[in-house]
Amino acid sequence: MKPQREPQLWIVDPSVRSAEEQGVAEILRDWPGASRVFRPALRPGDVPAGAEGYETDGVVLLGSAASVHDCLPWIPALEAWLRPVLTGERRIPLFGVCFGHQLIAHLAGGRVGYLDARRTKAVGVESTELAGGRLLEGAQSLRVVVSHREEVQQVPAGYRVTARRPRSPIDGLEHETLPIYSFQFHPEAREQFAREAGIDPAAIDARLRADGRRLLRAFLEEVWSRTPGGSALGPG
C-alpha cells in the first residue's frame, strides 16, 4: 500500500576517506520512498540540524574510520542531533552500523574501547548469532563483514544485546522500547567496502548478500510501516 505521503529515509555516511557509495545503494535498493545522504566528514557542515533536522521517517548511521573518542569538528554536531532521538524526544527509527553502533552506545552511557592493547583490527567475513531482537525474530546465524578496532564493551542502560560473535560479545544492540537498533558488523558492505578494507571481494558471496539484505530490509519495513498509511514494502 502506498503511504499518504512519501516517506523519507536519511543515511548519514561519516566516511573520512571516500564516500560509501555502494553501501548506500545497497541500503536504498529496497527503499521506494525519498532519501537523503549526509556526509559530515567529507562535506563539512553536512549534518542534520535545525528545525528541519528531524523531518525524516528513519535514519541509518554508517561506519567510519573515526573513533567516537576523536576530537573532530563534525562529531559534536552529529551527537547533538542524535541525542533527542536516543532519549525518545524524537521517536525516529534509527539503525547504527559499526561507528554508528558505537556512537549510539557511547551517547547512551555505554563504554567503547579497543579490541586489545595493541589496537588490533578485526577484518574479514565471520558469522554472528542473532537472538532476542525485534527486527529478525528467533535465533539465527548471519554471514557478515567486519572491520573495526573498537567495540562496545558495556551495554548502556535500557538496551539489550541482540547479536554475538566470538570476538564481539556485544555485536548487536536494540533499545528496549524505542525503535533503535545497532550492529558492529556491516550488513551493507559489498565489493567496494571489501577492497578498501583489505578483504577479498570474492568473499561477498550470495549467502552474505542475502543475510545483510534481510536485516536491512527488516529495518526498512519498520520505517515504512510507521509512516501514515504505510503497511508493507512489498516484494523485494
186 is an active site residue: yes
For residues 187 and 205, give the distance between their C-alpha atoms in angstroms, rounded to a whole number.
13
**pLDDT, mean of residues 115-138:** 95
71 is an active site residue: no
pLDDT (tens digit, 9 = 90+) per residue, 43-91?
Answer: 999 998 876 679 899 999 999 999 999 999 999 999 999 999 999 999 9
pLDDT (tens digit, 9 = 90+) per residue, 83-120?
Answer: 999 999 999 999 999 999 999 999 999 999 999 999 99
Rg (CA), the chain: 16
Q: Please, which pLDDT band fits residue 231 given cuts at 50, 70 and 90?
A: low
Whole-prediction pTM value? Answer: 0.95
Q: Which of 20, 98, 148, 221 is catalytic?
A: 98
Helix ranges (DSSP H) in the chain: 21-28, 74-87, 99-107, 191-197, 206-226
188 is an active site residue: yes
CATH of domain 8-226: 3.40.50.880
Q: Which of 101, 106, 175, 186 is catalytic?
A: 186
Please state the domain extents for the chain: 8-226
